[in-house]
Amino acid sequence: MGEASPIQIAEVIANFQFNGRLTRGCAYGSGHINDTYLLNFEISGMGSIKVILQKMNNSVFENPVELMENVVGVTSHLRQKIIEKGGDPERETLNVIPTLDGKPYYRDSCGEYWRSYKFITDTTSYDLVEKPEHFYQSAVAFGNFQRMLADYPAETLHETIVGFHDTKARFAVFKKSVEEDILGRAASAAKEIQFVLDREDVANCFSDLQAKGELPLRVTHNDTKLNNIMIDNKTGKAICVVDLDTVMPGLAMNDFGDSIRFGASTAAEDERDLSKVSCNMELYDLYSKGFIEGCAGRLTEKEIELLPMGAKVMTFECGMRFLTDYLQGDKYFKIHREGHNLDRCRTQFKLVEDMEQKWDTMQEIVRKYGKQEK
Ligand code: ADP
Ligand code: GN1
Ligand code: MG
């Protein structure tokens, strides 16, 4: 099973509050950060139960204990809200399964950190939009998520990755990695490097506005990929937001933007044929509608006006992060082939170019839904 040895996994499993006989275990999902496994247990006379087991990426997340404190705090808060509105807290939020000694994580004898969640049954997470309605539903769910956390005590949240969406700081790291060029890869990405250097204003945009005090900090998800949302197989509704590792104070526009970058693209994030990659305006329209509705009147006029910029900044930032990782030797994002991060960065920059061409339309669309909100 993945990189962890069977002995290591057996030790981990023995230390969680699991019941029954383990009948199956396999690698699961297509996340770029954690190692995710799906485990099946057979409980005599009661059938089978699935759980998610994750080895947390401790080079990306330096303090897994604090991270789990965030997850427990946020999921308890969401649970309460879901119960109040008569929802199902077993399926509409993540539920942490504790260890035998009651902790939300297990530190194994190799020093690695693990956690477990109840499996959210009868749902699917998508890497590409298969039905536009799913994308609309995901927008409502991410908007709702922000709304449900509006009264969460933000000051108690740990910053799990410092400067996670500080695009300006990431630009500086990028420039340094080009200058150092430790693997001699810069020559193979000369065009992409120039693309970034030509857009320093995009990297600075939100930092500058924040410095002027023009943007409210909210409790946001910060990693709003379509595959971080579970869609109910029967109803097609987005019922649960997962991957809560980066829930931190952040900008509403970035949650909007990261979803557009991934879900409104007409191709996979790592598509090599760039002629297939563009930002689909119908999907962008649907997401704008759903997200503004989901936030239910909480977004300021300025935030709504800046939603298109959120899409551009997040796509640019993500491309720059893939490119930086390529230059630094693929240390951050999991890769499955040579040049994978370079391929990923190219799709992001193709999307940025496409957004630049469709800029007026993108602005008109959010204006339309912003007006309806008033
Ligand atoms: P990563 O940080 O590596 O992206 P995620 O926490 O997003 O890891 O998990 C990877 C995938 O596993 C998700 O995209 C989702 O498909 C699936 N997943 C995660 N948690 C659950 C859960 N509780 N129930 C069902 N599927 C889940
Ligand atoms: C990572 O964990 P995952 O696969 O949902 C990354 C995001 C990137 C995304 C690009 C903690 O998301 O920031 O936008 O890959 N998560 C982290 O696909 O860095
Ligand atoms: Mg994920």
pLDDT single digits (tens) 221-240 = 999 999 999 999 999 999 99
Segments in the chain forming alpha helices (H): 6-14, 64-84, 132-148, 167-180, 190-197, 200-211, 252-263, 281-295, 301-305, 307-328, 340-357, 359-373
pLDDT bucket at 372, cuts 50 / 70 / 90: confident
pLDDT bucket at 1, cuts 50 / 70 / 90: very low
Q: How far is the CA of 48 from the centre of ligand 2 (A)?
A: 31
- Round the average pLDDT of the chain to a whole number and report it: 96
- Both tokens of 254, joined, read 């970035």
Tens-place pLDDT, residues 54-109: 999 999 999 999 999 999 999 999 999 999 999 999 999 999 999 999 999 999 99
**Which residues make beta-bridge pairs with 232?**
123
Q: CB of 225 closer than 6 A to ligand 2?
A: yes
Tens-place pLDDT, residues 258-303: 999 999 999 999 999 999 999 999 999 999 999 999 999 899 999 9
Distance CA 346, CA 352 (A): 10
- Both tokens of 310, joined, read 């959120």
Q: CB of 318 closer than 6 A to ligand 2?
A: yes
Q: How far is the CA of 227 from the centre of ligand 3 (A)?
A: 6
Q: From the CA of 227, give the closest atom in ligand 2.
A: 5
Is pLDDT at 374 greater than 70 in this prediction?
no
Tens-place pLDDT, residues 100-155: 999 999 999 999 999 999 999 999 999 999 999 999 999 999 999 999 999 999 99
List the one residue out of 29, 310, 353, 15 whose CA is nearest residue 195: 353
Q: How far is the CA of 332 from the centre of ligand 2 (A)?
A: 10
Counting residues of the chain whose pLDDT is more than 90, the rounded percentage is 96
pLDDT of residue 82: 97
pTM: predicted TM-score of the whole model, two decimal places: 0.96
Write down all domains in the chain, each with its CATH number in brackets: 6-121 (3.30.200.20), 132-373 (3.90.1200.10)
